[in-house]
Structure formats: structure tokens, C-alpha cells
Amino acid sequence: MLNQKQNLLNKGWFFFAIAALFLWAKTYYALQSAFTLNIENWIQQFILVITPISSLLFFLGLSFFFSPKRRNKAFMTIYFLMSFALYANVVYFRFFNDYITLPVLMQYKNFGDLGGSAKALIHPMDILYWVDIVILITWLVAKKVRPKMEFRRRTVAMIFAASLGFAAVNISLAEMERPQLLVRTFDRAKLVKLLGIYNYHIYDTVMTAKTSSHRVMADSNELTEVLNYVNSQQGKMGAKGKYFGKAEGKNVVLVSLESTQNFVIDRKLNGQEITPFLNDLKDDSFYFSNFYHNTGQGKTSDSEFIIDNSMYGLPRGAVFTTNAGNEYNATPEIVKDHGYTPVSFHGNNASFWNRDIMYQSLGYDHYFSKKEYNVTDENSVNYGLKDIPFFEQSMPKLKGLDKPYYAKFITMTNHYPYILNNEKNKMIEPANTGDGSVDRYFQTMRYQDESIKKFFQMMKEQGEYKDTIFVLYGDHYGISENHNRAMSEILGKEIRPFEHIQLQKVPLIIHVPGMEGKEMDTVGGQIDLKPTILNLLGIEQENDVQFGTDLFKENREDMTIFRDGSVVTDKYVYAAEKDICYDKETGEEIDAKSCAPLKEKAETELGFSDEVVYGDLLRFMDSEQEENKQSE
């Protein structure tokens, strides 16, 4: 009996079968427990069961094309890579509520700077994703247990035939559940739910190769089509806004508020204001209470790209890392032509998000990065320099700039996992939801608010305040859908897709010293900041590719488009992931037909923006403008 067991353990087919079973089991476990896939029926549940099979048979089967001596090593290498891909997505999803794409992997330089964020995302139960590898390696190296992994050609052919068979069934059922699934490239949640995590990565690789070839095939006719669309949309908005040129010649200071969502404004926790300074500042400023972020996977870098260019980020990855060599017509370059000194301040490594390269393409004169600050263990936490010392050390650098200047400050302390390493910095008690990230969020938010207060005080003391307009904006959400339970407790209501979209509001405060402000209820997004800032400065831009509109225009269309295809207007909220239409005032679900035009416009506009970036179409702008002059 013992010999029979020993013989079985030495059988290559038995080892392959057990390994495949291990990989399938942990993949299915991840799909069920680590990702929020919202399984709706038994067909989708069945799809979830079979999705890993086709890809794991295919990839593990590739090891049989190696020589017998190298076959075991090849098999375990493939097995490890598939396990790593699975686990990387699990960890990535815990914070971003999204899945890794190939362009995201191009941001590998960022991973070394994640620090406490990465540690907080690793859970004790994650050992389940690695214990099988230990078992299999032990099996292979044990002296009396050494499977030879020898197969007949017929057996290998059967493995690949089974792989194709499962893939065909998977794709057929997926198309039944979601017609045109493979053309909805931005809907990664649907792709993973209906194709599985490994097949999703195959699809993503194909799409990345396709978009990479777009630049080679692009021509100026595509730019003409985009310009025709943009100009027609701008034409509907009428003449210049009422505040055109009201801040002409003034310095511009932009402050990117890390992970700041609008729900914290005017909210109290334990009887204390979370953002006391911003609450007061907005009452003396133009405060846009229906302003949303438009970011995708690029998060803070996406917000920077959107705000400087009035174009959308990409459906996969970040423009900063995939298309930094493109030609752009960004705000820094434009204001430089009008005598401004455009600079950026950030207490992180220059290469993070590829800023050292991208900023040159956007037209910044200088980037004050971590190397130009005094960063110590005491004045830094998590990603780097804390916000208060960041502003304190930035003031002499700002004071020394030629005026007028266009200066962007990127805060950092209010970043996941929301940690403060000094009790003096904790100016408010944490929440008590039992969710550590949500509970600590309010403490780092309060610290950030205090840093902005000190910054304004220094601007006044240094004599920089009166001749400067301040634009403060939230860069992206801070608390993802993974924390809906805790957020429901904070907000006192269930978080449906409607509420989730409302949580994508970020504060926008435009403070112009000497000018009376007011609360603005127009619906807009980061996409609108470029034309808004340029119009305040009295700088006209004609025939420019920008998808946003001046937020001060009285007859502007009240709407903004999210990167996932969702849309918000003054009347409707369209949740693209669920394909649901809501009445914005009541929050009630209504007939989807009401949102059909919004859905169509979102797909059109996002598509045009992607064409510009992927095709690097702005390199044709000079020839396009020359043709227009000749036609006139």
C-alpha cells in the first residue's frame, strides 16, 4: 500500500493535477472573497467557477515544451508567476478597488516608495496564497518524491484542447451575460467577473499592444475630427464667463488636497470640525459644492494631467508613465508664454509617477522635489515630508520666484493608510467604526487642514497673499468602496451606486483676495479647471483640445463625466458600472432611457480624449492651425 502511494506521488500527471487544483482553489477563493464582483445569478456563479480553468491549463501546460531536465523548474516558475499575479491584484484591489493593468506595471518605480501603504494592505490570512507553493516545492525536492513530469503528446494535446474548450464556454456565457463585453475596455470589474483574473490580463495585454500601435497609425485627420467635436461643444456655451480677466496678472497657487472628499466639509466628528479652516475659507471664496474628480488608475497624477490639460486620464494606467513623451498644450506652457513662471512643489522623489519627465512635457520650469527639502524621520511619515514642514520649507523657494508665478503644491500626509507618527499632530479623535483606515482618515484630514491654515498665514506674512489667486482642489477619493460599511455608519445611510457617485465629490475652492465669493452649485469636474483658470487670467485659447468649460460661464452645461463612463448632471446621475439611471434630486432609480444621451456622450468624449493621448495627436496641431489660416 505504501509503495502504491509512493508510486502515485511520483507520477507526473498526479502532480500536475494536484497543482492545478491548488491554483484553481486559491483563485476561486480570491474571486469570491477578495474582490467585490457582485454575482447576480447562478450563471455568473458558474462562470466564476470555470474562469480560472482555461488559463491555468494553458499556462501550466506550456511547461511541457521545455526539456525534461528543465520542466519542473519551468512549471514552478509559471505557477509562481500566476500566483504572484493573483496576489498582486488582491493587494492592489484592497486600496484602489480596481485591478492591475499592464500600464500600471510600468509604474514599478513607484512601488519602492509605497512604504506604510503596502504594509497596511497585507493581511495575516494572505499566507493562504503561498502555502501551496511551499507544499509543491517540498514535493519536488524531497528525496523520495521526485515526479518526472513526463507526458505523452496526446496527453498534452488533451490539456490544451480542454483549455480551449473551457475558454469557449466561458466567453459564450460571458457574452450572454454582458453583450459587447470585450469592447467595454474601461469596465474592468465586468471583465474580471466574466472572464476571470488571468483571462482579463491576457485581454489587457492585447489591448495595450493595440493602443501602443495607435501612435504609428495616427494622422492629422483624427485631430480635425476631435477639434470639430470640441469646438461644437464650446460653441454651445456662448461667450466668455463674467469673471474673464478678473485676476489678470496675479500669481496662481494651486493646492492639491490629497485624498480629500467633499463630505468632510462642514462635517463634525465627536463635536469637532474636521476641516475648520477650509470651512471658513470657502465662505470667503468661490466654493463649488458639486465638483467631482475625473481620475482613473493614475489617481493623483491623473488629477494633475486632467487639470493642466482639460483632457481625461487613460482607461488603463497613467498618462504620466505611458505617454510622457507626447506633445501637450498644458496650462503651464500656456501661462509661460504670458510671462508666468510655472513650477511644482512636492516633497516626494522626483521620479514618483514619472513627474521629473512629464513635467518637462507639460512646460514646468522647475520641479521642487524631495532632494530640495530637508526630510528627516521626525518631519516625515508614510510617503514622505509632512504637510506643515512641506509648506514651511517651500515658502522661501516660492518667495524667490520671478513674478507672476504659477505654482502647484501637492500635499501628501492625508494618504492611505492615514498615519500620523506624532501625537501632537493628532488634533481630533479618530472615528469609531472599527475600520482603521476610515477612523484614522479624519485625523490626517484635520492635520492637512491645519497645514493649509499655516500656509495662508505664511503667504500673508511674506506679502505674497494679496497678489495671488488660490485654487484648492481634492485630487481623488480617499475612501474606496471596500469601506462602505464604515462609511455607511459615518454618513448614517446605506451606500448604493448613487451614494457612491456622490462620494466622488471633491472640494474646489477658488479664493481671490479682495473679491467677494459665493457658493456655486454648477456641476463640474477637474476637467473644467484649465479653462476656468485661464479665463480668470484673461488668457484666450482658441482651437484648443480641451473637454472642460469655464465653471463661471452662466450658460455652461451642468455635467461632468467620470473615467468609468458614469455621468452626473444637475438632473441625473448615471452609474456606468451598474448601468443604472437616477434622479439626482430624489436619488430614486428611474428609466434608463433618461440617461441614454449621457451614456452616449460619455463614450464619445472619453473616446476622443483617448485618441488624442494614444495617437499623440497634438503633434499635428501646428499643421492643423496652418490649414485653418489658409482656409480663412
Q: Is the pLDDT of residue 527 over 90?
A: yes
Does 34 reside within a domain? yes
Greater confidence (322 vs 508) lies with 508
Give, to the nearest 10 degrees, the angle between helix 276-283 and helix 436-461. 50
Regarding whether 250 and 201 lie in a shared domain, the answer is no
Task: Compute how many other C-beta atoms are within 10 angstroms of the C-beta atom of residue 298.
Answer: 26
Regarding whether 481 and 427 lie in a shared domain, the answer is yes
Choose, from 51, 260, 275, 300, the residue flagged as catalytic.
300
Least confident of 25-39, 71-85, 324-338, 502-516: 25-39
The predicted pLDDT at position 203 comes to: 82
The predicted pLDDT at position 241 comes to: 75
> Which of 438, 415, 436, 417 has its CA nearest to residue 484?
438
pLDDT confidence bin for 43, thresholds 50/70/90? confident
The predicted pLDDT at position 184 comes to: 56
Q: Is the pLDDT of residue 568 over 50?
A: yes
Regarding whether 462 and 338 lie in a shared domain, the answer is yes
Regarding whether 145 and 19 lie in a shared domain, the answer is yes
Regarding whether 428 and 329 lie in a shared domain, the answer is yes
Residue that has been written with the C-alpha cell 496650462 in this structure: 331
Least confident of 6-10, 257-261, 306-310, 628-632: 628-632
- pLDDT tens for 93-136 read 887 677 887 766 655 555 555 555 666 677 888 888 999 999 99
Greater confidence (605 vs 184) lies with 605
The predicted pLDDT at position 17 comes to: 87
Distances (CA, A) of 531 to 246, 287, 318, 443: 14, 17, 22, 34
Does 475 reside within a domain? yes
Does 550 reside within a domain? no
DSSP tally for the chain: helices H, then strands E: 25, 19
Average pLDDT of every residue of the chain: 87
The predicted pLDDT at position 187 comes to: 65
Does 256 reside within a domain? yes
- Highest mean pLDDT (candidates 177-181, 324-328, 346-350, 609-613): 609-613
Regarding whether 267 and 206 lie in a shared domain, the answer is no
What share of the chain has pLDDT > 90, as a percent? 58
pLDDT confidence bin for 341, thresholds 50/70/90? very high
Composition of the chain by helix, strand, coil, percent to 5? 55, 10, 35
**Beta bridge partners of residue 520, listed in sequence order:** 288
- pLDDT tens for 460-481 read 999 999 999 999 999 999 998 8
pLDDT confidence bin for 421, thresholds 50/70/90? confident
What is the domain count for the chain?
A: 2
Rounded Cα distance between 420 and 418, Å, is: 7
Helix (H, G, I), strand (E, B) or coil at 252: strand
End-to-end Cα separation, the chain, in angstroms: 93
Regarding whether 263 and 203 lie in a shared domain, the answer is no
Residue 277: which residues within 8 A CB-CB, separation 6 or more? Answer: 449, 450, 452, 453, 456
Does 590 reside within a domain? no
Decide which of 538, 563, 597 is a domain's last residue. 538
The whole-angstrom distance between residue 450's C-alpha and the CA centroid of its chain comes to 26
pLDDT confidence bin for 2, thresholds 50/70/90? very low
Rounded Cα distance between 412 and 426, Å, is: 16
Does 178 reside within a domain? yes
Regarding whether 250 and 200 lie in a shared domain, the answer is no
Greater confidence (594 vs 626) lies with 594
Regarding whether 413 and 341 lie in a shared domain, the answer is yes
The predicted pLDDT at position 351 comes to: 77
Regarding whether 138 and 11 lie in a shared domain, the answer is yes
Dihedral pair phi/psi, residue 478, rounded to 5°: -110, -30
Q: Is 549 a catalytic residue?
A: no
Regarding whether 197 and 96 lie in a shared domain, the answer is yes
Does 597 reside within a domain? no
Dihedral pair phi/psi, residue 244, rounded to 5°: -60, 125
Does 584 reside within a domain? no
Q: What is the mean pLDDT of residues 230-236?
A: 78
Distances (CA, A) of 106 to 101, 317, 318: 9, 8, 9
pLDDT confidence bin for 145, thresholds 50/70/90? very low
Give, to the nearest 10 degrees, the angle between helix 355-362 and helix 299-309. 10
63 in Cβ contact with 71 (< 8 Å): yes
Regarding whether 336 and 475 lie in a shared domain, the answer is yes
The predicted pLDDT at position 228 comes to: 92
The predicted pLDDT at position 93 comes to: 83
The predicted pLDDT at position 456 comes to: 98
Q: What is the mean pLDDT of residues 207-230?
A: 83
Decide which of 492, 522, 538 is a domain's last residue. 538
Q: Is the pLDDT of residue 627 over 60?
A: no
| pTM above threshold 0.85 | no
- pLDDT tens for 355-401 read 988 999 999 999 999 989 999 989 988 778 999 999 999 999 999 99
CATH of the domain at 303: 3.40.720.10
Decide which of 513, 538, 563 is a domain's last residue. 538
Which domain covers residue 361, as residue numbers? Answer: 241-538
The predicted pLDDT at position 505 comes to: 97
pLDDT confidence bin for 411, thresholds 50/70/90? very high
